[in-house]
Amino acid sequence: MSFPRLHIVTDSLDVIRGVLGHGPVAVQVRVKSHDREAYALTVAALELCRPAGALCLVDDRVGVALAAGADGVHVGADDLPVAAARRALGPSAILGATCRNPADARAAVAAGATYLGVGPAFATSSKTGLPDPIGPAGVAAVTGAVPGTPVIAIAGITPERVGLLDCHGVAAISAVAGDPAGATVAFLRALDDRDGRSASSGAPVISGAVA
């Protein structure tokens, strides 16, 4: 499948229901409490994502993704190393890695990452303790360092800021929480306007499933 340009990071089934059915998206399940809760939410998310043709990824928790049968995992800078996550997941699963500079981006791709989450692109209140924003120039530098690898900008992204970013796509958290359906439509329209093409044409193709 063509790799989605819009990633929704959430711990809410209501948000997941709202973002599906408007165009290609990837849902990243992010639960910061216990594995049992993360597993239950991932299983429920998969029941919604599968019929809608949406990717379902799990933030941080490789074991949860394997147990639930998700499409892949996203690992942060302080999580399991990319190479270790790839060994655990096998060759076919989607594996995202958080990066903020070209050197780390190239290393993550070499270690087995299939896409990169890059940021913080802008200041955000969705997560505390983040480093300073790298801005559009920092995102573009990473994009240029890993041609052929989808770069997903994250943090502080709004539909109005999409046009500032030179990357495959964007991730949204708080920007979709209030009106998931409306915000999803606005993001997808902004991405189409930026790229001058349909949501699916010309996008990198990445197939993923956790065995």
* 191-194 LR contacts (CB < 8 Å, sep 24+): 191/5, 191/6, 191/162, 193/162, 193/163, 194/162, 194/163, 194/165
At 82, the amino acid letter reads V
Look at residue 49 and tell me whether its pLDDT is greater than 60.
yes
Q: What is the mean pLDDT of the chain?
A: 92
Contact assessment for residue 25 and residue 54, using Cβ atoms and an 8 Å cutoff: yes
What residue segments make up the domains of the chain, in order of their start?
Answer: 6-195
pLDDT in tens, 167-193: 999 999 999 999 999 999 999 999 999
Contact assessment for residue 154 and residue 117, using Cβ atoms and an 8 Å cutoff: yes
Query: CB count, 10 Å around CB of 78?
Result: 7
Contact assessment for residue 39 and residue 62, using Cβ atoms and an 8 Å cutoff: no
pLDDT in tens, 142-165: 999 999 999 999 999 999 999 999
* pLDDT above 70 as % of the chain: 90
Query: How high is the pLDDT of residue 198?
Result: 39
Look at residue 62 and tell me whether its pLDDT is greater than 90.
yes
Q: How many Å apart are CA 38 and CA 144, to the nearest integer?
A: 34
Domain 6-195: CATH class, spelled out: alpha beta
